[in-house]
Amino acid sequence: MPHPYVLLSAAVSLDGCLDDTGPERLLLSGPADFDRVDEVRASVDAILVGAGTIRADNPRLLVNSPERRAARVAGGGPEYPLKVTVSGSGDLDPAARFWHTGGEKLLYTTDKGAERARAHGLAADVVALGSELDWRRLLEHLYAVRGVRRLMVEGGGRIHTQLLTQGLADELQLVLAPLFVGDPDAPRLFGPGAYQAGRLRLLETRPIGDVVLMRYEPTAPGTGPLPAAADHHWLALACDLAERCPPSGTAFSVGAVVVAADGTELARGHSREGADPVVHAEEAALAKIDPTDSRLATATVYSSLEPCARRASRPAPCARLILDAGVRRVVTAWREPDTFVAGADGSGVLAEGGATVVVLPEHEDRAKAPNGHLIGR
């Protein structure tokens, strides 16, 4: 089930705090950055904060610029993004500003929390997600039922920590403010947790007055059948690589990337790469990796098209090459059609060999784009 694009947004002090412990919200950013945040809010379908942030800050979470609100309406959307909060207890103040400003409001909670929230008479849709709150179910619900495609998450720390450790954050927009909090009890941006090993990808740095915006993208593949946000990023890259293939009327254009469990790219390739007119994308990528590289056993292969099960040009199909390399996880956008091989089932070959195959159909159109002439598009 698809999820919205999830953008985490936060401002932190130099010692990593989101706030101090005083009664007033600590202002970490300046006017220019607050205006940037307003612009980001205006660009999303929904804004989410945790119940802790509503209790501590009593925020409104509005799009303040009338021009930006008018542009949203002119584009056919609501004036304000949907406001979403998350609470296990359902114990929220019905007088909080969150419920009485801006557009529609939505509370995700547990079955027990829903009883309490309803008893409080909160001015919001209340959605109970069972005995525990499951972030994947929440994101699926936002996408499928509320039509949310871009979600901005504005904290606090417990929410950011869960979304990042569960591989559900597509992007982190972090503003570093030149001040210290120094209080051991102040809330931190990220708590302890099973974060991805390895490094995130830096997308951008931008000075804004005396603060600096840093944008990062997680890089670690998911594990097993559960897709992580980074799986989408890597598969999108594989689809980009497919566009680079020399054209052919007799073979698909495919891109592939091999990524280690810690998010390190091991190799990439595309069909008919270099001087080899018949090489396949996965084959080209795997050929660049030392076969004794121990990272292959926990790596993921991203391929815009399902790895082939049979081929005329060479004895070993790509599904076999992947298994022989020791890789046990493959993410693809598109199952192979019958164009050249009837009943090709690379996923079946991979599954029989003990690999997990994850198909992300959200990328199918991009994977098909350079192959339109072969599939009658």
Q: How far is CA 277 from CA 130, 144, 237, 274, 371, in A?
A: 54, 43, 22, 8, 17
When computed from its CA atoms, the radius of gyration of the chain, rounded to whole angstroms, is 23
Residue 191 CA to residue 159 CA, distance in Å, equals: 10
In the complex, minimum distance from the CB of residue 27 to ligand NAP, in angstroms, rounded to a whole number: 9
In the complex, minimum distance from the CB of residue 376 to ligand NAP, in angstroms, rounded to a whole number: 47
In the complex, minimum distance from the CB of residue 113 to ligand NAP, in angstroms, rounded to a whole number: 7
In the complex, minimum distance from the CB of residue 170 to ligand NAP, in angstroms, rounded to a whole number: 18
In the complex, minimum distance from the CB of residue 147 to ligand NAP, in angstroms, rounded to a whole number: 23
Q: Which is nearer to ligand NAP, 159 or 281 (CB)?
A: 159
The burial class, CB within 10 Å (0-12 / 13-18 / 19+), for 70 is: exposed
Q: Which is nearer to ligand NAP, 188 or 233 (CB)?
A: 188
Q: Which is nearer to ligand NAP, 96 or 241 (CB)?
A: 96
Residue 190 CA to residue 174 CA, distance in Å, equals: 12
Go through 281-303 and write b for each residue having 16 or more CB atoms within 10 A of its CB, e for each that does not.
bbbbbbeebeeeeebbeebbbbb
Residue 220 CA to residue 110 CA, distance in Å, equals: 30
State how beta strands 82-87 and 105-109 pair: parallel
Q: Which is nearer to ligand NAP, 10 or 164 (CB)?
A: 10
And the tokens for 223? 């594990």
Q: Which is nearer to ligand NAP, 45 or 154 (CB)?
A: 154
Residue 14 CA to residue 366 CA, distance in Å, equals: 41
Q: What count of other Cβ atoms lies within 10 Å of the Cβ of residue 247?
A: 9
β-bridge partners, 370: none
Q: Which residue, 273, 236, 207, is CA-closest to 363?
A: 236
β-bridge partners, 8: 153, 172
Q: Which is nearer to ligand NAP, 84 or 284 (CB)?
A: 84
In the complex, minimum distance from the CB of residue 66 to ligand NAP, in angstroms, rounded to a whole number: 24
In the complex, minimum distance from the CB of residue 105 to ligand NAP, in angstroms, rounded to a whole number: 15
Q: Which is nearer to ligand NAP, 21 or 250 (CB)?
A: 21
Task: Give the interface with ligand NAP as residue ranges (CB under 6 A).
Answer: 10-11, 18-19, 25, 28, 49-53, 56-57, 86-89, 91, 133, 154-159, 162, 187
In the complex, minimum distance from the CB of residue 22 to ligand NAP, in angstroms, rounded to a whole number: 10
DSSP codes of every residue in 138-174: HHHHHHHTT--SEEEE---HHHHHHHHHTT--SEEEE
Residue 368 CA to residue 333 CA, distance in Å, equals: 9
Q: Which is nearer to ligand NAP, 208 or 374 (CB)?
A: 208
Cα dihedral sign for 70, 76, 79, 85? negative
Q: Which is nearer to ligand NAP, 153 or 325 (CB)?
A: 153
In the complex, minimum distance from the CB of residue 185 to ligand NAP, in angstroms, rounded to a whole number: 11
Residue 332 CA to residue 246 CA, distance in Å, equals: 21
